A and B are shown apart, each in its own frame.
Chain A
Amino acid sequence: MEKKKLIPHAFRLTLPVMFGYLVMGCAFGIIIHTKGYNFIWAFVISLTCYSGSMQFVLADLLGAAAPLPSVALMTLAVQIRHVFYGLSLVDDYKKCGKKKYLMMQQLTDETYSLQCSLTVPDGMDEGRLRFAVSMFDHLYWMAGCTLGAVAGALIPFDFEGADFAMTALFVVIFVEQWRSFGTHVPALIGAGSAVVCLLIFGADGFIFPALSAATLALLALRPVLSKKTKEGDENA
Chain B
Amino acid sequence: MPERLGFFNSAVMIALVAAITFILRAAPFALFGGRRKTPAVIIYLGGVLPPAIIAALVVYCLRSTDFTVHPYGLPGIASVIVVALLHIWRKNTLLSILGGTVLYMTLIRVV
Query: Are B44 and A226 closer than 8 Å at their CB atoms?
Result: yes
The answer to whether B20 and A79 touch across the interface, beta carbons within 8 angstroms, is yes
Q: Which secondary structure dominates chain A's binding surface?
A: helix
Interface of B, secondary structure class, is: helix
Q: Does B70 contact A (CB under 8 A)?
A: no
Q: How far is the CB of A177 from chain B (nearest CB, A)?
A: 5
Say yes or no: B45 contacts A164, CB within 8 Å.
Answer: no
Which residue of the partner chain B has the closest CB to A36?
A: B4
Q: Is the CB of B58 within 8 A of A167?
A: yes
Query: A225 in the interface, Cβ–Cβ < 8 Å?
Result: yes
In the complex, are the beta carbons of B25 and A36 less than 8 A apart?
A: no
Among A1-9, A83-91, A122-130, A135-143, the stretch that binds chain B is A83-91
| Minimal Cβ-Cβ distance residue in B for A80 | B24
Give the tally of cross-chain contacts (CB within 8 A): 274
CA gap between A194 and B54 in the complex, in Å: 10
Residues of A within 8 A of B21 (CB): 49-51, 54, 75, 79, 82, 105
CB–CB A164/B101 < 8 A: yes
Interface residues of B (CB under 8 A from A): 1-5, 9-10, 12-18, 20-22, 24-29, 32-33, 38, 41-64, 75-76, 79-80, 83-84, 87-88, 93-94, 96-98, 100-101, 104-105, 108-109
A residues neighboring B (CB under 8 Å):
15-16, 19, 34-38, 41, 44-45, 48-51, 54, 58, 61-63, 65-66, 68, 71-72, 75-76, 79-80, 82-94, 100-101, 104-105, 107, 109, 112-113, 116-117, 160-162, 164-178, 181, 184, 186-191, 193-195, 198, 203, 206-207, 210-211, 214-215, 218-219, 222, 225-226, 229, 233
